[in-house]
Chain A
């Protein structure tokens, strides 16, 4: 689906003898920077998105708008105010997501602890964790030429599966937790298999069926929470029974400060990414996924069973999304789940997979970026509009999806082999 060119060479592929002496490294590097290859398009997409975000921050701030009305008499006012609002906002985002400089000062003064310093990072990682899973769920299916819009629904079923095992069994943690996580994966896999089976047997397009299944899953959750089996015994609002402590995901930084919410699911997510990478590049199953994704006709001619590949790929993808659900359910502490627990992690997984170009490493990086945007935007309220993170995400993906646009805006050179666009087959 993606082809990448590592080093720019001007010759077409058929060039027989190429000159022995290569240009110096800095020249090659410079060429690389000004070329619309997939890495630089990603970098420039981020920069452009933050630039557009800055413009919108300026335009949406009433005071700043006021200073622009007399720009020609005192331009410094407008420029200064604009700079202030943009730098303050982005600084607030950064401080909410990565490192708050005030905390360092407060630590020096003895009013803050190391836990306060780590809180932004912990928040970023916490928000990134489900995105890693859903990003992988979309990305893996992508490699088989399937557009898995259904990560949201698969995740919801993962939540339900993990929850039921989490509150109904009474086991030691060493058994209970893995079992609950597994239940999430299995429930997600089962739900993920449905669009795969529909496509394999009836040819129904997975995009349509998985969108519909998302709705089914969302409404099923609302109903399920209300049933006496799942509904909280102590609370009247729509919330389920809490997960037993033995099935809760342990906090990674609990020893520093038990307010740091990042938990074991992050490591499971990284392991899942490694697993997906291994699956795609080292296993026969991954070979089949890629073959079918690139050219199903040649794959079936070579004896591969296309329908079965669709079903198994969608199951594994659903299982990954189910793990996102398990991470949310088993990580919330004692609360139980509500209709809001799922948020939009499944849909965000689509943009994460796009930004990560369906590569496990890229998906982790993209999930961290989106997690940081989310953590930063939530923390920076009310100084920064909360929609800022969504807006930046959307703009980034818009540019990523339109490399020709980035190339045209920045007048980059065309890379050898053409622009890289990520697309699902069958559209």
Chain B
């Protein structure tokens, strides 16, 4: 299918979300749309999928103008969409989810389970997407759930164009690698793909053409061979430096000492297994590893949200094992949680209230149990200025901010009080390029003022950019501590539990690691099941 957008514009009142967008997707092409959060990507896709009506401009499919009054029209015209947040019925089987809305029947409303299974198998065979039609969706790892979404989108009457909206945001590096492979083979089979993303590496890896959108306008058409800096600059609209300037670290006394830390998960598996790790004042220790190898539990144990089953944690030379999270925070522990929406912010609270979320009882924000709203507001105004938080004011709800600015609120909260140790888990996840640059430089400033920083990140790029020392976690244990100049291949092998110089790891794995930060087929089992357990927790 050839898709062409001509002068597509969408206005909300006086605000123009998309302004005169021209874009052409050739048959069998992977066309990436790159842009920061709030650039107008999602609005564009929603117009394409019939969810929103364009204010002006037209959509042409195979040179015929079309007008969609709802997703049903778009699906009938051959467009399938995989949303950023999955739309699956958890307790249903894969086959039931795929046939949702167009059920296979034996007539008279009697469902035909066999036809539904057959249909799933047909599609998965045709496109090489392995799926068990009888598996229950909520039990599947996130990456496989996404595959269900893709199969669902491809099962339309004649899907020839697939829209993928930020499809990698929720995936582990291994799953990202798999997804990109799937995209390539779909394109080879003739399906056109519109790939929405703000991750430069992925775009470089799969796209045939790149359209960059900024503030609702097409600002550049690039070849995928364009450099990351080039793409980032086009997205942000100014020169962006993807490397972080920093001087060599001057490590001092240990600010975090963990020894023999063991945490047994709900299923009886040791998620942390005698972990030892030391972070000194004035250094950034990067914790590399495939997600689901105990990073989440480690961070939560340091904060005190999980009681370890064995081992000790000392902050600044003082045992904190018996301290509550509040006491540890008071003692100078800063914490940037990996899941911002769940653990970092209260959406309904104002920006100001969020900035003092872990200091609301301290002077000057409260005296004798009474909140001093003026003092909180003053702090918020200072933080908004210092951390360049883009908001209409401290009284705006946090939910009105973009992802990057929400993360700045979290950062401002942790950086505006005296602290000795900072645990930063995935500090730039879901954050756009401009804000990432800012957060990285703040982390380095933080280190330079003598704070110990434990940086937990699933993106090797980030670890390389910031860490003075790299520790690799695998199966709840530190399997290696290496210098910042260690080659990717070595760390990649450590991350999947192989010997650093081991020859048994296949070349393909190191290639995948080099491209997408971390994975080989050796580890995904533990990785995905742990991920799943965490996902399940969130609903309670």
Which residues of A come within 8 Å of B, CB atoms?
Answer: 1, 3, 9-19, 281-288, 290-291, 294-295, 297-305, 426
Question: How far is it, in angstroms, between the C-alpha of A291 and the C-alpha of B38 when the chains are bound?
Answer: 27
Are A284 and B14 also in contact (CB < 8 A) when A14-B38, A301-B337 are?
Answer: no
Is B13 close to A, CB under 8 A?
A: yes
Contacts of B303 in A (CB 8 A): 301
Is B349 close to A, CB under 8 A?
A: yes
Contacts of B325 in A (CB 8 A): 300-301, 303
Which chain B residues (275-298) contact chain A, with CB distance < 8 Å? Answer: none
Is B346 close to A, CB under 8 A?
A: yes
Q: Which residue of A lies closest to B12 (CB)?
A: A12
Question: How far is it, in angstroms, between the C-alpha of A9 and the C-alpha of B358 when the chains are bound?
Answer: 33
Q: Is the CB of A295 within 8 A of B13?
A: no
Q: Which residue of A lies closest to B357 (CB)?
A: A302
Determine the main DSSP class of A at the interface with B.
loop
Which chain B residues (516-540) contact chain A, with CB distance < 8 Å? Answer: 538, 540
| Top-8 shortest CB links A-B | A303-B326, A10-B13, A15-B15, A302-B358, A11-B13, A301-B343, A302-B357, A303-B325
Contacts of A15 in B (CB 8 A): 12-15
CB distance from B243 to the nearest CB of A (A): 31
Are A304 and B326 also in contact (CB < 8 A) when A284-B371, A294-B349, A295-B346 are?
Answer: yes
Q: Is the CB of B347 within 8 A of A283?
A: no
Q: Is the CB of B13 within 8 A of A301?
A: no
Are A298 and B346 also in contact (CB < 8 A) when A16-B15, A19-B14 are?
Answer: yes
Q: Name the residue in B329, B330, B371, B400 with the highest tally of chain A Cβ atoms < 10 Å from its Cβ.
A: B371
Is B430 close to A, CB under 8 A?
A: no
Contacts of B402 in A (CB 8 A): 14
Q: Is the CB of A287 within 8 A of B370?
A: no
Q: Which residue of A lies closest to B15 (CB)?
A: A15
Question: How far is it, in angstroms, between the C-alpha of A299 and the C-alpha of B329 when the chains are bound?
Answer: 13
Q: Name the residue in A1, A11, A15, A302 with the highest tally of chain B Cβ atoms < 10 Å from its Cβ.
A: A302
Are A303 and B348 also in contact (CB < 8 A) when A18-B14, A282-B371 are?
Answer: no
Contacts of B326 in A (CB 8 A): 303-305
Q: Is the CB of B360 within 8 A of A284?
A: yes
Q: Is the CB of B337 within 8 A of A283?
A: no
CB distance from B427 to the nearest CB of A (A): 14
Question: How far is it, in angstroms, between the C-alpha of A288 and the C-alpha of B365 when the chains are bound?
Answer: 14
* A-B pairs with beta carbons under 8 Å apart, 9 shown: A9-B13, A13-B400, A14-B15, A15-B15, A282-B370, A291-B346, A301-B305, A301-B343, A302-B329
Q: Give me 7 other A-B pairs in contact (C-beta within 8 A), A14-B38, A295-B347, A300-B305 excluded.
A: A13-B400, A284-B371, A294-B348, A297-B343, A299-B346, A304-B326, A426-B540
Contacts of A300 in B (CB 8 A): 305, 325
Q: Which residue of B lies closest to A304 (CB)?
A: B326
Q: Which residue of B lies closest to A15 (CB)?
A: B15
Question: How far is it, in angstroms, between the C-alpha of A305 and the C-alpha of B305 when the chains are bound?
Answer: 10
Contacts of B361 in A (CB 8 A): 284
The 8 A CB mask of B335-379 against A (1 = contact, 0 = none) is: 101010011111111000100011011000010011101000000
CB distance from B312 to the nearest CB of A (A): 21
In the complex, which of the residues A284, A288, A291, A426 contacts B370, with contact meaning CB atoms closer than 8 Å? A284
Question: How far is it, in angstroms, between the C-alpha of A14 and the C-alpha of B346 when the chains are bound?
Answer: 19
In the complex, which of the residues A19, A294, A299, A303 contacts B324, with contact meaning CB atoms closer than 8 Å? A303
Contacts of A294 in B (CB 8 A): 346-349
Q: Which residue of A lies closest to B540 (CB)?
A: A426
B: number of interface residues (CB 8 Å): 42
Which residues of B come within 8 Å of A, CB atoms?
Answer: 12-15, 17, 38, 303, 305, 324-326, 328-330, 335, 337, 339, 342-349, 353, 357-358, 360-361, 366, 369-371, 373, 392, 396-397, 400, 402, 538, 540
Contacts of A9 in B (CB 8 A): 13
Q: Which residue of B lies closest to A292 (CB)?
A: B346
Q: Is the CB of A303 within 8 A of B371?
A: no
CB distance from B322 to the nearest CB of A (A): 15
Q: Is the CB of B13 within 8 A of A297?
A: no
CB distance from B468 to the nearest CB of A (A): 26
Question: How far is it, in angstroms, between the C-alpha of A3 and the C-alpha of B370 when the chains are bound?
Answer: 24
Q: Is the CB of A285 within 8 A of B357?
A: no
CB distance from A290 to the nearest CB of B (A): 7
CB distance from B347 to the nearest CB of A (A): 7
Q: Which residue of A lies closest to B401 (CB)?
A: A13
CB distance from B540 to the nearest CB of A (A): 8
CB distance from A259 to the nearest CB of B (A): 43
CB distance from A139 to the nearest CB of B (A): 16
Q: Is the CB of B14 within 8 A of A291?
A: no
Are A287 and B353 also in contact (CB < 8 A) when A11-B14, A301-B337 are?
Answer: yes
Contacts of A282 in B (CB 8 A): 370-371, 373
Contacts of A284 in B (CB 8 A): 360-361, 366, 369-371
Q: Which residue of B lies closest to A3 (CB)?
A: B348
Question: How far is it, in angstroms, between the C-alpha of A323 and the C-alpha of B342 when the chains are bound?
Answer: 37
Q: Is the CB of B13 within 8 A of A303?
A: no
Q: Is the CB of B369 within 8 A of A285?
A: yes
Q: Is the CB of B346 within 8 A of A12?
A: no
Q: Is the CB of A11 within 8 A of B15?
A: yes
Question: How far is it, in angstroms, between the C-alpha of A12 and the C-alpha of B402 when the chains are bound?
Answer: 13
In the complex, which of the residues B345, B373, B397, B540 contacts A3, with contact meaning CB atoms closer than 8 Å? B397
Q: Which residue of B lies closest to A2 (CB)?
A: B348
Question: How far is it, in angstroms, between the C-alpha of A291 and the C-alpha of B305 when the chains are bound?
Answer: 17
Question: How far is it, in angstroms, between the C-alpha of A16 and the C-alpha of B373 when the chains are bound?
Answer: 27
Contacts of B12 in A (CB 8 A): 10-12, 15
Q: Which residue of B lies closest to A19 (CB)?
A: B14
Are A301 and B344 also in contact (CB < 8 A) when A11-B12, A16-B15, A284-B370 are?
Answer: yes
CB distance from A28 to the nearest CB of B (A): 14
Question: How far is it, in angstroms, between the C-alpha of A13 and the C-alpha of B392 when the chains are bound?
Answer: 9
Q: Is the CB of A287 within 8 A of B14?
A: no
Question: How far is it, in angstroms, between the C-alpha of A271 and the C-alpha of B538 when the chains are bound?
Answer: 39
Contacts of B13 in A (CB 8 A): 9-12, 15
Question: How far is it, in angstroms, between the C-alpha of A332 and the C-alpha of B397 when the chains are bound?
Answer: 47
CB distance from B213 to the nearest CB of A (A): 15
